[in-house]
Structure formats: structure tokens, C-alpha cells
Structure 1
């Protein structure tokens, strides 16, 4: 998961060399990454269904191989359509099998409810550590061998890591009979009729928008403002490093406080950090402070959101249900990356996207407050008792 998220995290480092070498616009590059985010979200519910039925290990193994194929296609594409196929379609689909939905779904079933917050926090921290390590590795490779060879090396690395999927083996649950299918339909019907489920989707839209925009366009934004490539890579590295501790602590905070309040606080904090970043003079120090602050709450939303879904709906179909919530995240990511390129090409500035990110953070913070996070089983118990 660390390698998969880390490789996605450094996509922004490829924007300048790829567009200059191929003569493509930032909007075209941004669309490829936007499609990656969208297809990740579209595939996640179906990947979750497969993982719920056959186990996460098989899904993770296939996802890593697809990731390797996608990176190889990116490296050796000479046309924009081929690059978009690799970066958008193959890598986007592969992420649905190698990141949060698959790994967190398995862990939610493999550990007890009392350990779940801790386990998801640790997994997120290790994933963040992978992101941190990938930044200097990728930057060094880009400087030494260029972007084509760097993507090829990353592809080989994904293929080598594929056998690690065996550690997430879990008992497969047979679900070919009518009873099991009806159970899934019931779970989906309960989720889709639950207001909190859609509020989580809306909040995750803001999360995806903010993270995808910053990850894809922050390096170019800093270069445009006169800072160095070192400052840009340092910013991504600080985000990933702070995310290691932040994701663990956010996940653990979900065992001490109500998760919806922690999520609300995170979104308000993101909006405040972004507003302060834009208000202060842009210097390497201000970039580092902003990167650390954003990194600390970068992926803390994921274990908390996953925790609310499992808390309310149970863990039997957690990968499927979280997959539908995660679609909201990736829909936001699609617009964050794509609009970043469109707005810059039209105005030669990212200001509108920064302001939009602040507004979405405030809205998401408000949306989480009224979520009903009581377990459906707990609400049904009094009714059954009365009957």
C-alpha cells in the first residue's frame, strides 16, 4: 500500500518533465491524472465486492500487476491517448485493488472491533511512510536517469512487490447463493437510505479535491512562483512524513472521541491552513510549514471514515460499502486535478482552485456534524425487543 500510494503521491513531479518533453499542455496531463482518480473511485465498489467474496489477497496481487503494467505504459507512450490509458485507466483501476479499500477492508475483518482503530491507524502510518520514501527515490531517479527510466523502474518494483499480498489472506466467504446476494442487496439498501452515508460521501468529495489538487499541482505552483525543484520535492516529502504520524494519531483518536467530530475538525483545520498559506509571503519556510500541517491531516480522514462505515453498517460488506463512499473521494480528486489544469491554462494562475479548496473544507466540516453514527444493529434491537 505504501508503494502504491507513494507512486501516486509523486505524480506531480512528472508534470513538468513530461509536458516539456512531449509538448503536452498541463490540462492534458491533468486530465490523465483526473481520469486516474475517477476510475479509482468507479472501480472501488466492484473491487470491494470481489474482495468481500474472494478475499483481499487475490485483489491486491492482481492490482499490483496492473499497476506495473500501467506504469510501463506511461513510460513508453509516445501519444497522449496512450499515456492517458496507462496513467488514467490502468493505474486508476489498479489503485482500487492496492490502496485503502482493499487493505482496510481486510484489516477490519482480521482484527477485533477494539483493535480496529489502532490497526487502521498503523496501516495508514506505514502507507504514509511508503509515500515519504518514494519522494526522494523518485526525485533522485528523475535527476539521474530521466522520467522514462524512472517510470520503468517503478513498474518493475510493483511487480516484485506483488507476492506480498499473501500476508492479507483471509477466509473467503462464499456468496453465490441467493441468501448471500439478498444480504448484499439489503446492506446496500440500508446504506443508500442512510443520510450519514451520503454526508460521508460529500465530505470525502472535498477531501479528494484538496489532496489531488495539491499532490498534482503544488510542485508546478511552487516552480511558477520562483521556488526550486528541491523545494517542491521537499514539500511532497514533508507531507508524506507528517502523514505517517498524523494518520496513526487520527485513527487512534477515533477510539477516544466520536469519529465524526474528529473528521469535522480535520476539514476545518485544512481550510485554515490553506488560508494562512495564501495569506503569508511565499518562502521555503512557509511552504514547509504548510506541507507539514497539511501532511499531518493528509490521510487521517480515511481510517476515520472507514471506521464510521464499519461502526454503523458492520464489517461483512465493509470493502463494498467503503468503496461506494470512496467514490465520492475520487470524484472530488477528478475535479481537483482536472480543473487545476483547466484553470491554470485559462488564467495562468491556481488562485481559484486554492479558494475553492478552502470553501470545500468549510462545507465538509459542517456536513459531518449531523451524521448519525449509531450502529444499525443497536437501533434495530429495541424494535425487535418490543415486537
Structure 2
């Protein structure tokens, strides 16, 4: 997994060590690992928070659902900040909000305050510390031939953080309780602040220089162009299924397993297996995305997820079934992200990749909102998660069908000024 040093287009060839691709990749991986790791273990907090506060599952799940929705709404706007002002500013804002949100989540005593911190504050924070901004910054650093592999490597490094976060969260929950655990996470998040700074002098898309596309296309025109592209909407609606599936599993699998008579340790191990397998899966799909049509790989991922969920629900539940399901789902977990981001940059270019991917990611987060919220609501109404599992499977089939006909050819446009004349 060697990484060649590739200077960003706006940086001179004799770049300092902290501007080398390998170091920027490490910084991006740390950002993704901690930001996504905290999100990955939220399901472990659902029952302890509900029990101590006297809330129902759907009450706590609603705050997590709002978090996903706010993340999706904020992502295009945070993308505009990154594209216009620089990715590092979006990252700094995200880190500060994340630390504040985790601390506020631990201290909030009312449901409204909890939703404001866990839902709104952390939702906005995730838009600056995860895929959209981080992958957008990396996409501008490397040539197209290396882009998919580099994004896959960043996702794999982030997966290491997710994996390590699971035993850390379980140890903190067992040792000091959920409130102190969240405060520890807030302090850890603050440590990420310096890792945004290496991206500081990389020219944003709107600042001129060679990062900007030669045609001089304005941001508004780029958004209109994307919205008029049929494949952009197919990608958006397909990504909704991804968000629904992953958010439902990450937030409700621990409670589902507890209802089935399994121990809390089984849920912790399952989430750890998902995170561990995700390391390999994200790298492999990033690598495959540089060699095969990404839309077909995405269709295959959604069909494979549907098959894995069907077997998990139908087979007798025990350790082999659970850990086998976790390994397969983990391998398929976030491999969709570098592939989806890769299609956006492949079709529309990298100038406004952060903004355009932000709009696509809204579809993902709308699905995440529905997966978390409906998971809690359906359980409270039926005392079962089975209808939600069925819905997740159906969405997987629909997503595969939507990705297959996407036109992933690069958009050909002439010089913007000439086109305007």
C-alpha cells in the first residue's frame, strides 16, 4: 500500500513534508476515522441514554435521525465553503462544532437540548469532517488515474479509526458511563484541529490558479448543469438506499440483538467486525473503481447487501450468523463512497466536487434519517424490527436498478465565456 508523493496542482514541486500526499492522506484518514468512528458507535449509546433519561427508543433515535438529516442539508453548503474558501476552513469549523456537540450531548437534560446538540450541532459538524470535504480536498491533489485508489486508501485509514472506536466506546461505557464517554470523545475531537492546517494553502476552486477548471464555469452554472443531468439524480436516489441501510444497522443493531437475547458484548464485537472489514472493503472498492465502471460496482454492492440482510434475517441467529453478516456488511459498508464520489468527479470534474458531492450526499442522509427514525418508530408501534429489514432489502434492489443505466461519460463543455457569448 505504498503511496507516491504527488504535489497538488497549486503547490510547487518542492513541497514540504507536511504537504506530501502521504501526510495529507494520513491527516485525512485521522479526520475520517474519529468523525465516523464516533458516529459508528452511536448505537451503543441508545439504550443507556434512554434508560437513564427515561426516554423511549424512538425518542433517542429521533435525535440521531435529525443528525443525519442536518448533515445532509448542511453538506452542500459546507461544500461551497470548501470550494470557495478552502477545505481547511470547513474542516476547522466541523471539528469545533463536533467537540461542542458531543459535550453538549453529554450535558443536555431535556429532549430538546439533546436534539439540538446530538442532532443539529453534530449534524453540521459531520458535514465538515467527513466524506464531502475530505474527499473533495483529496480529489484535487491527485491525477484522475490515482484518484479512486487514494480515496479508497483514505477510507481504509478512516475505517481503522472506526474499528478502534468500538472497543474504546465499550470500555468507556462500562467504566465511566455514557456521559463521561461523550466528554472523552469531545476532547479527542479537539485534538484533530491541527490536522486541518496542512490543507491550508491548497488553492480552493474559486481562487483561480490551476485548480480551477480552464473553462471558468461559475458555481451556479455547475449546479444547474448537474441538476439537468439524469445520472446525477439516479446517483442521488440510489445513494438514499445506502444511507437507510447503514444508519439503521449502525443505530439499531445493538438493540435488535439485545431483543433477540444476545449479550451486549455480541453487539460490540459485531460493530468491531463491521469496522474491521470496512477497512479492506473501502480500499478494495477504491482500487476496483480505478479499473472497472464504478456504476456496475455500486449496483453489485447493493445487491450483495440485500442478499446478506436476507440471509441474516432468515437464518437462525447465533454467533456464526451474526459475525458472518457483520463481516460481509462491513466489507460492503463504505465502499460506496469513493465510488460515488468518483462518478461525480468523473462526469463533472473536480472544480466543484465538494459542492456537487454534497448534493448527492443529501440523498444518502435523507435515507439515513429515515433508517434511524423509522427503525425506532416501527419498533415502538410493532415491537419488531422486521418491517424495517424488509424495507432495507427492497431499497437495495431499487438502488442496484437505478445505478445500472447511469451515463458516466465526462460532460463536454466549451470555455464558459465563449459559451456565454
Measure, in 2, the Cα distance between the counterparts of 1:326 and 1:173.
20
Report what 2:203 is aligned to: 171
Query: How far has the Cα of 1:175 moved from its partner?
Result: 5.5
* Aligned residue number for residue 24 of structure 2: none
CA distance in 2, matches of 1:17, 1:341: 15
Alignment of 1:70 with 2:105, yes or no, is no
Following TM superposition, by how much is the alpha carbon of 1:21 offset from its aligned partner in structure 2, in angstroms?
Answer: 0.4
Offset at residue 171 of structure 1 (A): 1.5
Number of aligned pairs? 379
Distance 1:206 1:311, change over 3 A: same
Find the counterpart in structure 2 of residue 123 from structure 1. Answer: 154
Q: Which moved more, 1:162-171 or 1:363-372?
A: 162-171
Runs (4+) off by over 6 Å: 179-182
Q: Does 1:2 align with 2:33?
A: yes
CA contact (8 A) 1:267 1:365 kept: yes
Match of 2:132 in 1: 101
**Inter-partner Cα distance in structure 1 for 2:250 and 2:410:** 35
Residue from 314, 320, 325 that aligns with 2:355: 320
Q: How does 1:1-387 map to 2 (within 5 A)?
A: 1-169=32-200, 170-174=202-206, 183-377=218-412
Does the 8 A contact of 1:216 with 1:337 survive in 2?
A: yes
> 1:224-245, CA deviations, whole angstroms, 9 ceiling, x for partnerless residues?
1000000000111010000001
* Aligned-pair CA distance for 1:168: 2.6
Whole-angstrom distance in 2 between the partners of 1:288 and 1:168: 39
CA distance in 2, matches of 1:296, 1:160: 29
CA distance in 2, matches of 1:293, 1:76: 37
How far residue 36 of structure 1 moved from its aligned partner, in angstroms, is 0.2
Deviations 1:252-275 (A, max 9, x none): 111110000000000000000000
State the SS of the aligned residue for 2:192. Answer: helix
Structure (1/2) with the larger helix percentage: 1
Q: Runs of 5+ in structure 2 lacking a partner?
A: 1-31, 209-213
Q: CA deviation at 1:185?
A: 1.4
1:61 Cα deviation after fit: 1.3
Q: Would you say the 8 A contact 1:175–1:181 is kept in 2?
A: no
Question: Shift in Å at residue 58 of structure 1?
Answer: 1.4
TM-score, length-scaled by structure 1? 0.96
| Cα distance in 2 for residues equivalent to 1:19 and 1:211 | 21
Query: Retained in 1: the 8 A contact 2:295–2:403?
Result: yes
Structure 1 residue 167, shift from structure 2 partner: 2.6
